[in-house]
Amino acid sequence: MKYWGLTDKGAVRAMNQDSFFAGSVGDLNGKDVVLCLVCDGMGGAKAGDLASATARDRFVEAIKADIAAGNGNFRVIMADAATKANRTIMELAESNPDYQGMGTTLVAALLCGDRTTVINVGDSRCYIIKDNEIKQVTKDHSLVEDMVDKGELSREEAWRHPRKNLITRAVGTEHNVQCDTFEVELDEGNYLLLCSDGLSNIVNSQEMLFEVLYGDSSDTAAERMMEIALGRNASDNVTVVLLSK
């Protein structure tokens, strides 16, 4: 497997409150285990970056510990890692008034051999690219997504909606974090793309597909997507992690 990740504060924001991870977290039965993760923090200048970095670090730490212990139930260990990240952020928020209300989205994919498990909270996304198509694996936990489900907005209207950044779930904002988990069939030559809404709000899925499959090289696809977002004066932080199997 190959993976690439990069993040940028964008064209408007003074600081970057996104965090990401892409790398090996151990091995199971002699097979490498790879984790990709994106977090998008919220809670103001003093707290958003801390929330996303804390969630990333605690989540990765918990995954590594479970893999080292030989736990191969990816759904369980990812839910457990999210719970630990949630608890750590809640404790920080309770310890300092400046951190109250902070939280973060989280989307992560854990891969080993022919097994791929994806977890998400909030509106950071995971896409799968296979058979010359791109499909969104995760479902946004957002006000606009709820409106789409109720038939109040079309998908096109949702993409342009001014309140599309309002999320209904996050890590660190409630004592019990609610995660969605997905099992994904990832074959040789397929890709996983994880990103914050700073990318998906500006670069549409067909543009992502083109850059990954038909651009100059998959080695620079993440960079090209970032360049598109920044070229459109990205108003938010932008993070993209791409994995090729």
| Nearest residue to 241 via CA among 103, 127, 137 | 127
Cβ atoms of residues 213 and 161 within 8 Å: no
| Alpha-carbon dihedral angle through residues 157, 210, 184, 198, given to the nearest 10 degrees | -50
pLDDT digits (tens, 9 = 90+) for 138-158: 999 988 877 777 787 777 767
Q: What pLDDT was estimated at residue 143?
A: 82
Q: What is the DSSP letter of 96?
A: -
Res. 96: pLDDT tops 80: yes
pLDDT digits (tens, 9 = 90+) for 164-192: 678 999 999 999 999 999 999 999 999 99
The CATH number of whichever domain residue 25 belongs to comes to 3.60.40.10
At 238 the three-state DSSP class reads strand
Q: What pLDDT was estimated at residue 201?
A: 93
Residue 16 structural domain: 2-244
The total of other beta-carbon atoms located within 10 Å of residue 160's CB is 11
How many domains, the chain? 1
Q: What pLDDT was estimated at residue 159?
A: 65
Q: What is the DSSP letter of 235?
A: S
At residue 234, φ and ψ (nearest 5 deg) are -45, 120
pTM of the model: 0.94
| Nearest residue to 147 via CA among 163, 131, 135 | 163
At residue 123, φ and ψ (nearest 5 deg) are -115, 15
Average pLDDT value for the chain: 93
- d(CA 9, CA 213) in angstroms, rounded, equals 26
